[in-house]
Structure 1
Amino acid sequence: MKYIRINIEKVVQAVVLVMIATSCSDFGDTNINPNASTTPVTAALLTSALTDVASSIGAYQSESTLFVQYLSQSQYPEASLYSTTSASWSDYYLGPLENLQTIIQYNTDETTKATMAQYGSNNNQIAVARILKVYYYRLVTDQWGDIPYSQALVKNLQPVYDTQESIYTDFFKELKEASAQFDDGKAVQGDILFGGDASRWKMFANSLRMLIALRLSKVAPETAQTEFVAAYNDAAGHIRTNADNAVYVFLNDNNFRNPWSANFDGRDDYGVSNVLIDQLKALDDPRISGFAAETSDGEYIGLPYGLTRDSLINWTAASDYSRPSAKMLAKTFPGYVITASQMLLAEAEAVANNWISGDASSLYNDAIKASFEQWEVYSDATYQAYISNTEISIASSDTDETLERIGTQRWLALFPNGLEAWAEWRRTEYPALVPTPYAVSESKQIPVRYGYPNSENNLNKTNYDAAVARIGGDTHDIKVWWDK
């Protein structure tokens, strides 16, 4: 069952903005407050855009955690049976993307840029907004494929759908230009991710650029290598240690808590899947205690993935299973946006692909160590035993085995970030996930994209039809451009 959460604070803000933006001409200036601001507070818009990072890494995107079999549904298994055919993207376009475009607009316009400079230098605000736009647009295009991009966010109600290839090309340009745009002026205000630290934003941009490049490893390997190497060698650096992790900080407050905490507050709709639990057990992986809670019998038992409702009712009536751990459900559990383990695995794959020089095995082991430390399960003895396991360690001479094991460790290290794990599984096909035998979709396969929002066929039909014809249909079985 999919739950829609409404942020009351944002709704109130939206209503206020609409009231400010529209006036009742029949009453002349009667309803105009001469003391009210007619321009936005860009620091507040940035904070709002950054709060939406939580939805990109948390439980709001619960379907993707089901597609990659991190979780299983305990009561209403429709999403696990691949019943979802389309999804709305309005939370992206009408939320963070619109806020970020407004920041860019008001810091570019000659009539408003001087006023906006009180919230950080114009260049610094624009640079941060451009980087974040790439972050959010990547989430959108990776879920739907070809999307409105070049004509979006400019008061065009019927924008064309740009090809994913052209969007990815523009991502590289935007990240490079944005990183170069930072100046020595006033730091950006309202930055709850990096506190206005331009060096952290540049490091984040390089890390994002490397991950975007890796996404193209199969469809455009030459471009992928060029962009990856350029970002890898950039003087600003990229995330390589847990101290550099891009982390969204949640608070011990119901209004600003970890969304996984909110998703399990008073509800019991999910358990950790048997697919994940069985893999962790097979590898004797200490992260199991960070990912999952023990049952009342002191065991880790996964909830079977993809059962029908009747089968679920019968199974759960007779068996206990592991829910997510208390650590993961704590209000202050950190929201990991990009991590050292994720980036070290990216480097290991780049070495295996002969893009960069290095030791794939050492980078792979360092990534595992970083993940263990991130989940606070590291000890030298446990780590050494783990990487010595012949089912885990890699031999650089066997490229296929190396890529498979990197892919499996990436799947483990990304938990519980379902959106990123779903994209990486589609790109690499690792680990070898098996679809539920009870799938209700026509293909019976794990979805590889979302269908376009239902409203597009009515509100933007010409451009919708053109996009559907170009990609070959509008089902969740049509692969996005980079998924080869």
Structure 2
Amino acid sequence: MNFLNNNYMKAAKKLVLVMLLTGLFASCDDFGDLNTDPNNPSQVRTELLLTNAQRSMSDKVGAVMGTLWVQYMTETQYTEAQEYREVNANFNGWYTGPLQDLQTIIDLNSNEETAGDVLSGGSNVNQIAVARIMKAYFYQMITDRWGMVPYSEALQGRENLQPSYDSQSAIYENLIAEYKAAADQIDPGSAAVTGDILFQGDMQKWVELANSLRARAALRLSESNASLAETEFSDAVSDGIITEDVLYPYLTSADNENPWYTRFRTRTDYAISATIADTMKGLEDNRILVYANPAPDASNGDSEVTFDEIVGMPFAENAGDTPNSEISFPGAAIGAGGPSVGVQDAPLPIITVAEMEFAQAEAVERGWITGVAADHYVAGIEASWNQWGVYDAADFTAYTAQPEVAYNSATWDEQIGYQKWLAMYPNGYEAWSEWRRTGHPVLTPNPFGVLSQIPIRFTYPTSEATNNTENYNAAVSEQGPDDPLTPVWWDQ
């Protein structure tokens, strides 16, 4: 899906080099000017900063770990991740990468001395609003994974190299407020942002994304701050949420291709898990036909894939127990499969209409909004089938009529949770957050894992204990042991 010219994407990737060259050589004719700081360039292309920050979404959303913890995938070669051995992760790259880029956009557009120099990126107000939305989005992903993290004192550079940690409750309240304020700040009558690979400067879509992310954040608080959750969810929906899936676009070039395509270019380290494949096959859920590729030994050779050709690998099975020829690998629809069958520019779902429909179904059941929960539930399934291009009216009617799928208000939490899990594939981290919040679907931990349960948070970077000791210790004292089984605030 070529939403952007290849050369433009490559230019964004070279942003850091451009900035450094600007700082180093802008004063070549006045070499003796010792007042020029080569580490702080005076000319910055904010549209390239925006593109660069958006490109970070690919790494943060399209990562593998979450898909293993919610058992979308299972490892075929190296099983450390699904054995819960890789629970320590470094959040520093989030701060020095996309968050710093976005803060720079805000600072340059807010400063009277620089605001006029960055108008190639769009009007000052719209640049600030978009940067605030994206900044809140990245912070929400960070706090969902680690819990308490540096927030109010972060992004101050050398002025504060040891920021304190904010409570997750305070972070979430601020994020929700940021989504709302940023949406209200957008001015459709002024110049749209440029360098925008998500919406190509469509400011109304940014408003809808902000409202949808606010609804997602509010729902996350259903068990920890129900009153705030109800108010903010209802308001977000009333303000207008997405009506089209938000997809991150890739290109048919090695520098900007789908990460699942890259992973399967020369290797086959991840198979579709039997946890998801078996249940979907049993219910003849058409989505499994694109979620996975046919197992070579089960393939009938026809272009039309059948359910019998999809063979999930038992989760946590020892590497090599089942030959690769007997199992299915992630499907071409998400980019996987390698050069032979993969789709190099398959888009990555960021937030979908299906997710919003399931969220509204839950909100109706909780009494937060009016409507018919069953209608939103069925609409969520239909939106997901349409998203993956597998909708067939007769098949869909038969699927939703089955007792295991047909909506039952008495078991709404289980049904919505299960269907949401199916629809969020392959966004493992969002599915992991929803699984932690709802407890659905019920997943059996890896019996060979080093932990007795599926991890429910990442542990802090080891550098924090040595370089930010006082604040690290304060966070651990408030949140609980720096352990993968210590719940984050909204999961308690």
**TM-score (norm: length of structure 1):** 0.91
Tell me, yes or no, if the aligned pair for 1:284 and 1:386 is still in contact at 8 Å.
yes
Tell me, yes or no, if the aligned pair for 1:98 and 1:153 is still in contact at 8 Å.
yes
Tell me, yes or no, if the aligned pair for 2:292 and 2:331 is still in contact at 8 Å.
yes
Alignment of 1:57-96 (within 5 A): 57-58=61-62, 61-96=63-98
Closer, same or farther in 2 for the Cα pair 1:37/1:167, shift >3 Å? closer
Deviations, residues 210-269 of structure 1 (Å, cap 9, x unaligned): 0000000011111100100111111xx1013xxx22111111111111111111110110
Alignment of 1:292-331 (within 5 A): 292-296=292-296, 297-298=298-299, 299-307=309-317, 311-316=318-323, 320-329=326-335, 330-331=343-344
* Percent identity for Structure 1 against Structure 2: 42
Using the alignment, how far apart are the partners of 1:270 and 1:453 within structure 2? 26
2:263 aligned partner, one-letter code: N
Closer, same or farther in 2 for the Cα pair 1:373/1:8, shift >3 Å? closer
Which of residues 149, 171, 175 in structure 2 aligns to 1:171? 175
Which of residues 453, 463, 468 in structure 1 aligns to 2:471? 463
Which residue is 1:365 aligned to? Answer: 378
Q: Cα distance, 1:117 vs. partner? A: 2.1
Using the alignment, how far apart are the partners of 2:11 and 2:266 within structure 1? 22
Q: Cα distance, 1:92 vs. partner? A: 1.1
Partner SS for 1:424: helix
Tell me, yes or no, if the aligned pair for 2:15 and 2:49 is still in contact at 8 Å.
no
Which residue is 1:445 aligned to? Answer: 453
Tell me, yes or no, if the aligned pair for 1:74 and 1:316 is still in contact at 8 Å.
no
The alignment covers a number of residue pairs equal to 461
Alignment of 1:95-244 (within 5 A): 95-155=97-157, 156-183=160-187, 184-234=189-239, 237-240=240-243, 244=244
Partner SS for 1:482: helix
**TM-score (norm: length of structure 2):** 0.89
Q: Cα distance, 1:168 vs. partner? A: 0.3
Using the alignment, how far apart are the partners of 2:51 and 2:274 within structure 1? 38
Q: Cα distance, 1:33 vs. partner? A: 12
Deviations, residues 70-97 of structure 1 (Å, cap 9, x unaligned): 0000010011010123101122111111
Q: Cα distance, 1:394 vs. partner? A: 1.2
Closer, same or farther in 2 for the Cα pair 1:387/1:180, shift >3 Å? same
Deviations, residues 286-344 of structure 1 (Å, cap 9, x unaligned): 1111100111222211112123xxx3223337x61000112222112111111110100
Using the alignment, how far apart are the partners of 1:131 and 1:33 within structure 2? 31
Q: Cα distance, 1:37 vs. partner? A: 6.6
Which residue is 1:429 aligned to? Answer: 439
1:340 aligned partner, one-letter code: V
Partner SS for 2:349: strand
Question: Aligned Cα RMSD in Å?
Answer: 2.4
Q: Which has the higher contact order (CA 8 A, sep 6+)?
A: 1
Using the alignment, how far apart are the partners of 1:427 and 1:456 within structure 2? 27
Deviations, residues 176-220 of structure 1 (Å, cap 9, x unaligned): 111111122111111111111111100000000000000000111
Q: Cα distance, 1:29 vs. partner? A: 4.3
Using the alignment, how far apart are the partners of 1:120 and 1:19 within structure 2? 24
Partner SS for 1:475: coil
Which of residues 367, 379, 385 in structure 1 aligns to 2:398? 385
Using the alignment, how far apart are the partners of 1:37 and 1:148 within structure 2? 26
Which of residues 413, 417, 425 in structure 2 aligns to 1:415? 425
Using the alignment, how far apart are the partners of 1:121 and 1:249 within structure 2? 24
Tell me, yes or no, if the aligned pair for 1:127 and 1:178 is still in contact at 8 Å.
yes
Which residue is 1:4 aligned to? Answer: none
| Off by >6 Å, runs of 4+ in structure 1 | 7-11, 30-34
Closer, same or farther in 2 for the Cα pair 1:474/1:19, shift >3 Å? farther
Unaligned runs of 5+ in 1: 1-6
Tell me, yes or no, if the aligned pair for 1:450 and 1:475 is still in contact at 8 Å.
yes
Which residue is 1:332 aligned to? Answer: 345
Partner SS for 1:450: coil
Unaligned runs of 5+ in 2: 1-8, 300-308, 336-342
Q: Cα distance, 1:281 vs. partner? A: 1.4
Is 1:374 paired with 2:384?
Answer: no
Which residue is 1:53 aligned to? Answer: 57
2:68 aligned partner, one-letter code: L
Deviations, residues 89-133 of structure 1 (Å, cap 9, x unaligned): 122111111100000000001110111123211100000000000
Closer, same or farther in 2 for the Cα pair 1:478/1:181, shift >3 Å? same
